Amino acid sequence: MSHFEIGERDFMLDGQPHRIISGALHYFRVHPEQWADRIRKARQMGLNAIETYIPWNAHAPARGIFETSGILDLGRFLDLVSAEGMHAIVRPGPYICAEWDNGGLPAWLFDSGVNAIREDDDAYLGAIREYFEQLAPILVPRQIDTGGPIILIQIENEYGAYGDDHVYLEKLVQINRDIGLTVPFTTVDQPEDRMLANGSLPELHKTGSFGSRAAERLAILRRYQPTGPLMCSEFWVGWFDHWGAHHHTTAAEPAAEELDVMLGLGASVNIYMFHGGTNFGFTNGANDKGVYQPTVTSYDYDAPLDESGNPTAKYWALRAVIAKYADLDDSDVPVPTQPMDHAVVQLSSKVSLWESLDQLGEENQERVLPTHDDLAHYSGFSVYSIEVAVSGPSVLDFDAIRDRAQVFLNRQPVGTMARDHHETSITLPNDAVGTLQILVEDQGRVNYGPRLGEPKGLIGEGRINGKAVEEWNCLPLDLAGIPGGLPGANHHPVAPDQPVSGPAFVLGDFEVHTPADTFLSMGGWTKGIVWINGFCLGRYWSRGPQDALYVPGPLLRKEKNSITVFELHAARAPIVELVPAPGLGHTEY
């Protein structure tokens, strides 16, 4: 057993000064069979700790459920950290940001009596208490004083950028203590006066988040944290990407120089991100500071260890700096992995969305236009439909679209309304008669700022020529069974040179002789979702910058593998390619 505490000037491990050199690695963004590899490569770079958030909404998709298997097996992840001889820093939130859907907060919170988030609200704190009680059996026995790897727990996350409710923070601290957490607690904020003053409590150790001007920002932090060790617990060495923007990169040399400054000043550090991973499925978040910007599927982050787990130039540059302050074994270094060879995959059948609806859920009849949240549908897609009979020209409009609505009349496309373009209305064909269907996509909930917790779907009132529509049929799409191939649906064969018209599911099989990491290029496709062997890789979109999806080698099987593509618009041909390198897109210049 060991003991870890915050001393007058240093972190203290068993009575001796200890510097933390940590890296962020989110278990929920990495295939579980790759956890050990990524952790080992962190140690080989010279790190002595791994930091991870905990995404409450991933573990608790509904109240009363707490999932801890597969990619959510936090206990196994922490045990692997310990087995590598490393410590762990855990950030359970409840809010995490992390460019993660809704900042990690469950969307069901507002359906359970919660009136306010991230402040002193009884119902919100009650839900948090339940969450921490579910975490207790995982975290408490894995603290360092009971032989585990956990040395620090973070309270909330950059709270000073959001609020200043110190009563809320005090109650959150008490919840952490009540479940049995005894290691030191920290907070993190950007080193600005307002944020540092509002985001912590006197009894919590303050740390900073920044990516440049390290000496200046550590000096500001020291004014607010006069005793104890200085720590940058989010040292940003890269950045994330939005759909329709450029791929962000950060040069290795400036990051290495800033790290050298911090370590030279005696500070501790957590590199964010050491290894970013992937926003599999529907887990990506979004930002909205006037324009809605959903985050791409890749969370490569231009990190020292890239999305497929290979060291980059930044890895070696940071390792060289760390070697000045710690003893590293130059014979113990990672070896790049070999990706699969290029392969072309022909998809063989197609199932129209419209012919699949009866297998994708139960339709709800509503007099008032419901949001996704009203239907307890917290991610993915839905189909709204009404019967129309209009003479002459007509316009369909809504109070708001969250986040993208494709409009069809009698299954024929009319057009699209998109939140990022602030579009809320569309012209219907003249003399529109028949079934109007609206395919709505939740593209990821905002993860930062005052728009946390916003409902998704069609918002407010729906009108045709200004008159409210009062009868709606709403079908939340349950896509959990899609990887099984829609066995009861009408499958149509597709030829190799035949264009694909969506919305439709396009399916096929391919063989692999030696499974290894690869990337799925979606060139020629427009927008949609991909599953391989029942695992949802995430979203693709021709607007970029990302044009290929990471496929972890452990997902693949020898011989036969299945692929399902949900294409919303169109593709040149039912063909995808497995390529050996990522396609993260163009940079700014």
pLDDT tens digits, one per residue of 106-158:
999 988 889 999 999 999 999 999 999 999 999 999 999 999 999 999 999 99
User: Is 399 in the same domain as 434?
Assistant: yes
In a domain, 393, yes or no: yes
CA 121 to chain centre: 26
In a domain, 589, yes or no: no
User: Is 454 in the same domain as 485?
Assistant: no
User: Is 84 in the same domain as 169?
Assistant: yes
User: Is 243 in the same domain as 384?
Assistant: no
423, 443, 476 - which closes a domain: 476
CA 244 to chain centre: 18
The phi and psi torsions of 197 (rounded to 5 degrees) equal: -70, -40
Task: Say if CB 515 and CB 557 are below 8 A apart.
Answer: yes
Whole-angstrom distance, CA of residue 430 vs CA of residue 223 = 67
Domain of residue 563: give its range: 343-352+481-579
Q: 219: which 2 tokens?
A: 């000096």
User: Is 389 in the same domain as 498?
Assistant: no
Residue corresponding to tokens 């409210």: 468
Task: Say if CB 11 and CB 4 are below 8 A apart.
Answer: yes
Catalytic: 158? yes
Task: Say if CB 328 and CB 46 are below 8 A apart.
Answer: yes
User: Is 442 in the same domain as 552?
Assistant: no
User: Is 495 in the same domain as 569?
Assistant: yes
At CB < 8 A and 24+ separation, what contacts does 314-318 make? 314/237, 314/238, 314/250, 314/252, 314/255, 314/256, 315/45, 316/252, 317/252, 317/253, 317/255, 317/256, 318/45, 318/46, 318/237, 318/252, 318/255, 318/256, 318/259, 318/271
In a domain, 587, yes or no: no
| Cβ-count burial 38-62 (b if 16+ within 10 Å, e if not) | bbbbbbbbbbbbbbbbbbbbbbbee
435, 455, 476 - which closes a domain: 476
Bridge pairing between strands 548-551 and 21-25: unpaired
Whole-angstrom distance, CA of residue 388 vs CA of residue 472 = 11
Helix 313-322 with 252-264: angle, nearest 10 deg? 20
CA angle 376, 379, 382 (to 5 degrees): 75
User: Is 252 in the same domain as 187?
Assistant: yes
Bridge pairing between strands 185-189 and 205-210: parallel
User: Is 470 in the same domain as 527?
Assistant: no
**Which one-letter DSSP state was computed for residue 2?**
-
In a domain, 334, yes or no: no
Candidate list 158, 307, 441, 567, residue with the active-site label: 158
In a domain, 328, yes or no: no
| Residue 586 CB neighbour total at 10 angstroms | 11
In a domain, 425, yes or no: yes
Predicted local confidence at residue 1, as pLDDT: 85
Task: Say if CB 102 and CB 453 are below 8 A apart.
Answer: yes
Whole-angstrom distance, CA of residue 538 vs CA of residue 405 = 19
| CATH value at residue 401 | 2.60.120.260
User: Whole-model pTM?
Assistant: 0.97
476, 502, 526 - which closes a domain: 476
Task: Say if CB 211 and CB 12 are below 8 A apart.
Answer: no
| CATH value at residue 209 | 3.20.20.80
User: Is 88 in the same domain as 175?
Assistant: yes
In a domain, 448, yes or no: yes
Candidate list 51, 99, 156, 234, residue with the active-site label: 234
The phi and psi torsions of 485 (rounded to 5 degrees) equal: 95, 10
Predicted local confidence at residue 589, as pLDDT: 58
Whole-angstrom distance, CA of residue 564 vs CA of residue 459 = 31
Predicted local confidence at residue 546, as pLDDT: 98
How many Cα atoms within 13 Å fall on the side-chain side of residue 277?
A: 26
Q: 556: which 2 tokens?
A: 């693949």
Among positive and negative, which fits the CA dihedral 374, 380, 383, 384?
Answer: positive
Catalytic: 84? no
Task: Say if CB 322 and CB 328 are below 8 A apart.
Answer: yes
| Residue 393 CB neighbour total at 10 angstroms | 12
In a domain, 336, yes or no: no
From first to last of its 589 residues, the chain has per-residue pLDDT tens of 899 999 999 999 999 999 999 999 999 999 999 999 999 999 999 999 999 999 999 999 999 999 999 999 999 999 999 999 999 999 999 999 999 999 999 999 988 889 999 999 999 999 999 999 999 999 999 999 999 999 999 999 999 999 999 999 999 999 999 999 999 999 999 999 999 999 999 999 999 999 999 999 999 999 999 999 999 999 999 999 999 999 999 999 999 999 999 999 999 999 999 999 999 999 999 999 999 999 999 999 999 999 999 999 999 999 999 999 999 999 999 988 889 999 999 999 999 999 999 999 999 999 999 999 999 999 999 999 999 999 999 999 999 999 999 999 999 999 999 999 999 999 999 999 999 999 999 999 999 999 999 999 999 999 999 999 999 999 999 998 787 777 777 889 999 999 999 999 999 999 999 999 999 999 999 999 999 999 999 999 999 999 999 999 999 999 899 999 999 999 999 999 999 999 999 997 5
User: Is 55 in the same domain as 168?
Assistant: yes
Whole-angstrom distance, CA of residue 519 vs CA of residue 534 = 17
User: Is 313 in the same domain as 388?
Assistant: no
Among positive and negative, which fits the CA dihedral 147, 206, 20, 70?
Answer: positive
**Which one-letter DSSP state was computed for residue 372?**
T
pLDDT tens digits, one per residue of 377-412:
999 999 999 999 999 999 999 999 999 999 999 999
For the chain, the domain total comes to 3
